[in-house]
Chains A and B, each alone.
Chain A
Amino acid sequence: MPEKILLNSTDIERALVRVAHEILERNKGAINIVFVGIKTRGVPLAQRLARIIRNMEQVDIPVGSLDITLYRDDVSSLSFKHVVQQTYVPFDITNKQLILVDDVFYTGRSIRAALDALIDLGRPETIQLAVLIDRGHRELPIRADFVGKNIPTARSEEIKVYLSEVDAVDKVTVMRTEGGKNEPK
């Protein structure tokens, strides 16, 4: 099956605008909010959310980036390892409303790793999760607070998020792959 486009650039922007509104509504404004994006594609998404909120509320929300490689639960059993990248959170997260941002929510294992990584950096008042796509198949008792789009999938399908900052184009696609369970990105 060829790649099928689920969301285009406009769809992504609309979803993010709605998520931004929900974040402001839930937190009663943008005061005390910080964004942390999970590398790689959570980071540009967090920056976009911050930009949307700046346009609405004239508030600058700090954006950090988190590399979760060292916190993954599959490091020791991996036949494939990941290149460790830099975490860059140049502000104190303690007592903040921290919005964690990722592109696809799948098993929840990346988020678990991200939570461990965040706790090592400080003690936020709350951690809330915003994702562009929730594709189902949770394996842990973790769920997203803000979802751009729910896309029920089979495990044999692969969801790919392309963002212009990283991939030169904005789109979300689905593709059926051969074989069994895919590793979440």
Chain B
Amino acid sequence: MSLSESRRHAATRETLPQLSIDSWNHRHVLDLDDFSREEIDLVFEIAKGMVEILDRDVKKVPTLRGKTIATMFFEPSTRTRASFELAAKYLGADTISLDSAKSSVAKGESLIDSLRTLQALEVDTIIMRHPCSGAPYIAAQHIDTSIINAGDGCHAHPSQGLLDLFTMKQQFGDLTGRKAIIVGDIMHSRVARSNIWGTRHYGIKLVLCAPPTLVPRGLPEMLDRCALNHVTIEHSLDAALENADIVMPLRLQKERQQSGLISSMREYIQGYQVNLQRLAGAKPDVLVMHPGPMNEGVEISHEVAYGTRSLIEQQVTNGVAVRMALLYLIAGGKSR
């Protein structure tokens, strides 16, 4: 059975829950901390419809015809940007992309002024990535245009959190009692943070695994304060992997090496690389995800990344479907 066939079959097997569009309550998508379970379920229900469109020969629907969607990236990105732009195009919207290096930002224009310009150009939705945590929040305060956060500093990457969760649900259906591990540079990972918020409604056990130097200070207290008791912290990958259903290594951001947070690359690989040997300690059908970009041979071995347990390519496809669902909910219809 081909992948698309199996996807279609999965789609028909599940019964449709009664979801109301009224549960959607967002004008911006900044992080998943203010998403209810109903809202996430709604995004996923719509994303399932979008997966079907991605299977077609003609991948285009006229839903957002006449809408303009801008991507504004102040940090390099391939998959997130391509994914958002394709999502917008598949829904029939027009897109423009602003690159900080080639725009007026290089001439010293402030963020707010750039955003105001886009607003004045009647752009309907702005998809924004910025190296500073919180930048999209400031943006949302200054303009009326809807903002979708495509990654801000070490803070949040909500669409990635959603597509990771969507991919898990696609595999397992009900996630209650499942165990997922995020391993690597938790300290600098916005993906880990958004996954913490995204998974909290679904009864999943989430283990964050990293050497002590790569766990942010104050994380246990923060988890406690926010009642995120589905999350635990573990420093040994072998211990974390016991009975794991899903393991997601994060990219070891090589630039962090210089800051002395890991003693050496070799030691990191020894302790934290996800490879076949290590996976022997997990459940036999453990699945592997990765938010990309990968450093093969560092946080993940080649055999695992391209092996039968890898969901990495599926994550990329699902990313487009989930982003189409977000754009449909944000850009379709008048803002309230």
Interface residues, chain A, CB within 8 Å of chain B? 67, 69-71, 75-88, 90, 116-117, 120-121
Enumerate chain B interface residues (CB-CB to A < 8 A). 8, 11-12, 16, 19-21, 24, 42, 45-46, 48-50, 52-53, 56, 58, 60-67, 91, 325, 328-329, 332-334, 336
- Beta-carbon contact of A86 and B333 below 8 Å: no
CA distance A33 to B333 in the complex (A): 37
> A90 CA to B8 CA in the complex, in Å?
9
Q: Is the CB of B63 within 8 A of A71?
A: yes
Q: List 25 A-B contacts (CB under 8 A).
A: A69-B49, A69-B63, A70-B61, A70-B62, A75-B332, A76-B65, A78-B333, A79-B334, A81-B21, A81-B24, A81-B328, A81-B329, A81-B332, A83-B19, A83-B20, A83-B21, A84-B45, A84-B328, A85-B49, A86-B48, A86-B49, A87-B49, A88-B12, A120-B56, A121-B58
Smallest CB separation, A128 vs chain B (Å): 22
Could you tell me the distance between the alpha carbons of A83 and B46 in the complex, rounded to whole angstroms?
Answer: 6
* A81 x B8 contact (CB < 8 A): no
A76 and B62 contact, Cβ closer than 8 Å, known pairs A81-B329, A83-B45: no
- Given A86-B11, A86-B52, are A120 and B58 neighbors across the interface (CB < 8 Å)? yes
Q: Which residues of B contact A117 (CB under 8 A)?
A: 61
A88 in contact with B333 (CB, 8 Å): no
CB of B45 within 8 A of CB of A76, answer no
Check B334–A84 contact: CB distance below 8 A: no
Whether A78 contacts B12 by the Cβ 8 Å rule is no
Instruction: Considering the complex, give the chain B residue whose CB is closest to the CB of A121.
Output: B56
Q: Are B46 and A71 neighbours in the complex by a CB distance under 8 Å?
A: no
CB nearest to B47 among chain A residues: A84
Q: How far is the CA of A120 from the CA of B91 in the complex (A)?
A: 13
By a CB distance below 8 angstroms, the chain B residues around A79 are 333-334, 336
Across the interface, B334 reaches (CB within 8 A) one of A77, A82, A88, namely: A77
Q: Would you call A84 and B56 a contact (CB within 8 A)?
A: no
Residues of A within 8 A of B46 (CB): 83-84
Output the least CB separation between B45 and chain A (Å).
6
Taking a contact as CB atoms closer than 8 A, the residue among A75, A83, A121 that contacts B333 in the complex is A75
Q: B62: nearest residue on chain A (CB-CB)?
A: A71
Contacts of A87 in B (CB 8 A): 49, 52
Q: Could you tell me the distance between the alpha carbons of A88 and B52 in the complex, rounded to whole angstroms?
A: 8
